[in-house]
Amino acid sequence: MIQNQLVDLPVDERSAEKIAYSWIRSTIGNIPHVGTPVKKGEIWSVPVHVNYPRIFKDLTTERPQKIRFMSFKNIGEVKIDAIKGLIVDKPTFYQVQHKISENLTLVQKTVQKALVKVGANYFAELPFPSHMHTPLLDVLSWLLVNDKIDTAVDFEQINEEERKKYQQNIDLLTKYGLVEIEGNIIIPGNYLIEIESRGKNYHERLSKALSFFFERGYEEIDSIYQVIGPYLTLSSICYERSFEYGSVLPQDYSEIESIFMETYRTEIKRIKLPRYLVQLEAVDILESKTISGKISWSANENLFNKMCSERDILEPIAGLIEG
């Protein structure tokens, strides 16, 4: 490891950059690099940046086709005494890794928000997973069938933790005008009443209500994840990779499986993966293609283009990807 360096003369900008660069290379690795040092009093502050590589392979040759970099700025700071040349503060390896992870999560969730907004109708057509805890669907379904919820009566037998989850979802639906609260009584809001009048049956009304919530409430991505979790994870793999690539990019099954299993580390999800893909294709969120004799999966091009046009949503990550 490079030790803190003693410098006889005051440290200039170039020297501060070299000291920080040497420490980064010896401690963190080759991916991070230094930015322009800024002097604050007797301390040089040297920002740490990362160009995170994304490698895209050609499915016909299995070889890298393109490399793009995700530019993450200011993920750490190396502070150097401007007189002695000593490093007085620095990020740890794990802090840098955590910041990289935060940026990757930002990209993922931002793409998911844009995808959910433009694909609201598509996602609402997916089968509702009975195994998932979905209080949002419970509330909407109850109101469509029973017209109102009396929380003092209907929630009386459920525990405090479950009651809190239901109340959080009621508050969320209230925020977007799908329900209204009158004391202990929950009733359909104006938007849900309008949806009821246009739906032919309960399933269609629930789908339309869900589509409305997805389109208006795309920022509530964690709550949406409770409803369509594995479908959102799986579809966003294809759309995020295409977004990073710059156009629709087919991916083979093994690549999708590898990324998917980073989120779901249980074998039961591996077994369910093909079904999820089939169901996503059935509602036109994903498309399957045969390339060089292998089945690949990709984003729906029309939906992908609509997603990319959501500039306001994608703005936080628009400058992160470099060719």
Give the residue numbers spanning the domain of 312. Answer: 118-322
Tens digits of residue pLDDT in 193-204 = 999 998 889 999
In a domain, 110, yes or no: no
In a domain, 310, yes or no: yes
Q: Write down the pLDDT at residue 133.
A: 64
Residues 256-275: what's their mean pLDDT? 92
Q: How far apart are CA 223 and CA 221, in angstroms?
A: 5
In a domain, 137, yes or no: yes
Higher-scoring residue by pLDDT: 109, 68: 109
Q: What is the DSSP string of 222-253?
A: HHHHHHHHHHHHHHHHHHHHHHHHTS---EEH
Q: Are residues 18 and 69 in the same domain?
A: yes
Q: Are residues 79 and 129 in the same domain?
A: no
Tens digits of residue pLDDT in 195-246 = 999 888 999 999 999 999 999 999 999 999 989 999 999 999 999 999 999 9
Q: Are residues 155 and 74 in the same domain?
A: no
Structure tokens at 151: 């929380």
Q: Are residues 316 and 224 in the same domain?
A: yes
Q: Write down the pLDDT at residue 268.
A: 87
Q: How far apart are CA 231 and CA 204, in angstroms?
A: 20
Q: How far apart are CA 307 and CA 52, in angstroms?
A: 23
257: number of Cβ within 10 Å: 17
Domain holding 30: CATH number? 3.10.450
In a domain, 85, yes or no: yes
Query: Which residues face 296 on adjacent strands?
Result: 252, 289
Q: Write down the pLDDT at residue 323.
A: 55
φ, ψ for residue 288 (rounded to 5)? -105, 145
Tens digits of residue pLDDT in 88-126 = 999 999 999 999 999 999 999 999 999 999 999 999 999
The 294-299 sheet, strands edge to edge: 251-252, 294-299, 286-291
Q: How many domains does the chain have?
A: 2
Q: Are residues 46 and 193 in the same domain?
A: no
Q: Write down the pLDDT at residue 7.
A: 43
Q: What percent of the chain has pLDDT over 90?
A: 78
Q: How much is the mean pLDDT over the chain?
A: 91
Given 91, 126, 161, the domain boundary residue is 91
Q: Are residues 80 and 124 in the same domain?
A: no
Q: Are residues 253 and 158 in the same domain?
A: yes
In a domain, 218, yes or no: yes
Q: Are residues 73 and 151 in the same domain?
A: no
217: number of Cβ within 10 Å: 21
116: number of Cβ within 10 Å: 27
In this prediction, residue 3 has a pLDDT band, given cuts at 50, 70 and 90, of very low
The answer to whether the beta carbons of residues 116 and 123 sit under 8 Å apart is yes
Give the rounded distance of the alpha carbon of 285 from its chain centre.
Answer: 17
Can you tell me whether residue 303 is helix, strand or coil?
Answer: helix
Q: Are residues 69 and 142 in the same domain?
A: no
Q: How far apart are CA 211 and CA 209, in angstroms?
A: 5
The answer to whether the beta carbons of residues 140 and 206 sit under 8 Å apart is yes
In a domain, 2, yes or no: no
Q: Are residues 76 and 164 in the same domain?
A: no
Structure tokens at 255: 């690549």
Q: Are residues 66 and 122 in the same domain?
A: no
Give the rounded distance of the alpha carbon of 62 from its chain centre.
Answer: 27
Higher-scoring residue by pLDDT: 29, 169: 169
Q: What is the identity of the amino acid at 300?
A: N
Q: Are residues 141 and 43 in the same domain?
A: no
Q: Write down the pLDDT at residue 9.
A: 59
Tens digits of residue pLDDT in 272-318 = 999 999 999 999 999 999 888 888 999 999 999 999 999 999 999 98
Q: How far apart are CA 24 and CA 33, in angstroms?
A: 7
Q: What is the identity of the amino acid at 85?
A: G
In a domain, 104, yes or no: no
pTM: 0.88
In this prediction, residue 17 has a pLDDT band, given cuts at 50, 70 and 90, of very high
